[in-house]
Amino acid sequence: MLSGGELAAAVVVDAIGRLLPGVLNDETSALFDSFQDDLLAPPVYTRPADFRGWQVPEVLLSGDPKKVDAWRHEQSIKRTEERRPGLLDNE
């Protein structure tokens, strides 16, 4: 239960706003949201490439968009299998 309508309104504004042209800096970023293609989103990494022992996978540093896309898809499937296997039952 929400204490007021403010939070619900913010969620609606955010969800609808993302669909408007020019709202997102990179409109293709919405294609990588969770549950896109009925899969959970893949892991996200940022700089530095080594942070407290956590390494960015080499494929993400390779600069090869096809390999990066394939890795992201594989990771999405893996995450979905581990965390929400019921989503894969529809395939």
DSSP per position, 42-88: PP---SSSEETTEEPPHHHHS--HHHHHHHHHHHHHHHHHHH-GGGG
Quote the CA–CA distance of 76 and 78 in Å, as a whole number. 5
Is 81 a domain residue?
A: yes
- pTM (2 d.p.): 0.63
CB 70 within 8 A of CB 78: no
Domain of residue 36, residue span: 25-90
Average pLDDT over residues 25-44: 74
Q: What is the model's pLDDT at position 22? A: 83
Q: Domain of 81: which CATH number? A: 1.10.1270.20
- Quote the number of domains for the chain: 1
Per-residue pLDDT band at 83 (split at 50, 70, 90): very high
Average pLDDT over residues 26-39: 69
Read off the tokens for 5.
């309508």
Is 7 a domain residue?
A: no
Average pLDDT over residues 47-75: 93
Q: 41: which residues sit within 8 A by CB, 6+ positions away?
A: 32, 33, 34, 35, 76, 79
